[in-house]
Amino acid sequence: MYPRFSETFVVTELLSMQRLGVDLEVFSLRYPVDGRFHPSLAEMRAPVTYLKHGGLRAADVWAALGAARAAVPEVDAHLDELLAAEVGDAVQALELAVAVRERGITHLHAHFASVATTVARLAALLTGITYSVTAHAKDIFHEEVDPADLRRKVADARAVVTVSDYNLAHLRAELGPDAGRVRRVYNGLDLRGFPYADPGDRPPVVAAVGRLVEKKGFADLLEAVAVLVGSGRKVEVELVGAGPLADDLRARRDRLGLADVVHLRGPLPQDEVSRVVAGAACFAAPCVVGADGNRDGLPTVLLEAMALGTPVVSTPVTGIPEVVHDDATGLLVPERDPQALAVALGRLLDDALLRRRLAAAARELVETEFDTTRQAARVAETFA
């Protein structure tokens, strides 16, 4: 889905590639649904094509096959692959294959190793071009991931990128030699949009940002804040995001007596998110592994907080310890441990010197390892 409000890392990467001179087109499998857009989208010059999705009739399927056979005669040789796919995926692959052939596209890159890679792989197979993929989190960790399907996608790709060393180790353990060409490239930030500010004199505000889903651990954050308030501490929480657990979190907040403490702001555009995070004394990302195996790869918003000079508290889930080095670039606490989370947040709220020390080291790390121009160039190298 392009653009997707919660996937700022895709737009950041595209804009960086655009500045590097990569000739881009965007193909989206779904229409955007939330009606909110980040201002940076105005900078995108790449054309966007929305492939057919949903409401397909038999006539649509035959029309897509006929159009593809006319433009891509090789389709007949790969009918078995098309018939093995979901009908909607096959139709989108046929439409994409026609665009590839008519527009002289030489390579496809898919974000997420799920349906996007299914379509890219089929279109590449039909047209004889190459494809690559960036694997993130749900697309490799969720209980619904088919190991055989993932193995085939990784084996057939020219290159596979993933966003943390944790993910890289997981793929190598799961796929063995087929994962030999997978490389780690962290998601990048355009640091021009995340100016560093000293956190020493900020008010006692905890910021948290993300989709309101289990893996973000926001239920634990509410419990931790209840501990802080119960100890007589003055604190406020700015929680930004939307998602299926919004009503549950609101009910939990009210049950804990935190209606005047925890402010559920809903989704905000990037510039407003940065303003909220930059004004907080600390940032909480108490991520957990969900009951369905879903988990974060390495939350981009965590990197954004570190870039802005807001010290972070998080958990040692997936790739997070690769950037949050405990008591060096942030604080780590066990997942699903509200008491430990409360203690860590209390340390940051109380100690301006600690905030300054952690924030300065975190910014240095982000500048060294997460600059978008360098990261996007590494991904673009896989297209050649």
Name the token pair of 38.
């980040």
3-state helix, strand, coil in the chain (%, to 5): 50, 15, 35
Residue 384: predicted pLDDT: 75
375 vs 196, 287, 345, 367, 378, CA distance in Å?
20, 24, 31, 11, 5
Distance CA(137)–CA(374), nearest Å, equals: 22
What DSSP letter does each residue of 144-181 carry, written as one string?
Answer: T--HHHHHHHHHHSSEEEESSHHHHHHHHHHHGGGGTT
Residue 37: predicted pLDDT: 80
CATH architecture of 191-369: 3-Layer(aba) Sandwich (3.40)
- Could you state, in order of their start, the residue ranges of all structural domains in the chain? 8-190+372-381, 191-369
**0.85 cut: is pTM over it?**
yes
Q: From the CB of residue 240, how many other CB atoms can be counted at a distance below 10 Å?
A: 20
Identical fold at 8-190+372-381 and 191-369?
A: yes
CATH topology of domain 8-190+372-381: Rossmann fold (3.40.50)
Residue 136: predicted pLDDT: 94
Distance CA(96)–CA(99), nearest Å, equals: 5
Mean pLDDT by 10 residues, the chain (384 residues): 90 95 96 83 94 90 92 93 94 97 97 97 97 94 93 95 95 92 94 96 97 97 98 97 96 98 94 96 97 89 97 96 98 98 98 98 96 94 84
Q: Scanning the structure block, which residue is given the tokens 């009918």?
A: 79
- Neighbouring residues of 160: CB distance < 8 A, sequence distance ≥ 6: 113, 132, 133, 134, 135, 154, 171, 179, 181, 182, 183
